[in-house]
Structure 1
Amino acid sequence: MLRWLIAILFLANLLAFVAVRGVFGPTPTASGREPNHLSREVHPDGLKVRPITAAEAGDQAVVGAPAPAAPIAASALPQ
């Protein structure tokens, strides 16, 4: 039983290797598959990159800082 499982896994790995090497055609991530994609963009020069203000950054996580305490009110359960 284990021999068959190993044989099936070996064949699956071999098939995946052959597929990645391009035997069945180009991979979906290969460049040049969508040459008209750039021409369909609507006003790409209209995009502006700007830094966010302090008001906009209020809900952004601070990397490296401890997590803020959640504003949760707790009370004792009645017995």
Structure 2
Amino acid sequence: MLRWLIAILFLANLLAFVAVRGVFGPPPTAGGREPNHLNRQVHPEWLRVQPITPAQAADQPVVGGPAPAAPIAASALPQ
């Protein structure tokens, strides 16, 4: 019984390996998922990339640095 299980698992692994190698054709994810996506964009040439200013960069976290202190004012609650 165990021999058959091992043989079936071995054949399943062999079949998976052969399928990944492309023997049965390219995998479904080999091509673009949305090939006409760029053709459907409205005015893609209007997009511009701009560097951020130092004022805008102040809100950005520094990787590896300490967490910034939150600018919260605290006061005692009236009782």
For 2:16, the aligned partner's letter is A
- Aligned-pair distance for 1:20? 1.6
Q: Partner of 1:23: helix, strand, or coil? A: coil
Q: CA offset at residue 18 of structure 1? A: 1.9
1:46 is displaced (CA, Å) by 1.0
What displacement does 1:32 show?
5.9
Number of residue pairs the alignment of both structures matches: 72
Match of residue 51 from structure 1: 51
Unaligned runs of 5+ in 1: 74-79
CA displacement at 1:33 relative to structure 2: 6.3
What is the alpha-carbon root mean square deviation over aligned residues?
A: 3.7
Deviation at 1:26, TM superposition (A): 2.0
Q: What letter corresponds to residue 27 of structure 1 in structure 2?
A: P
Structure 1 residues 55 and 5, CA gap change in structure 2 (3 angstroms) = farther
TM-superposition CA deviations, 1:48-77 (whole Å, max 9, x none): 111122333333221232334578x9xxxx
For residue 40 of structure 1, what is the aligned residue in structure 2? 40
Q: Measured at CA, do residues 33 and 51 of structure 1 come closer, stay the same or move farther in structure 2, by a change above 3 Å? A: closer
Question: Identity percentage over the alignment?
Answer: 75
Choose 1 or 2 for highest CA Rg.
2
Query: Equivalents in 2 of 1:56, 1:6: separation in Å?
Result: 62
Alignment of 1:20-35 (within 5 A): 20-31=20-31, 34-35=34-35
- SS of aligned partner of 1:55: helix
**Counterpart residue type for residue 43 of structure 1:** H
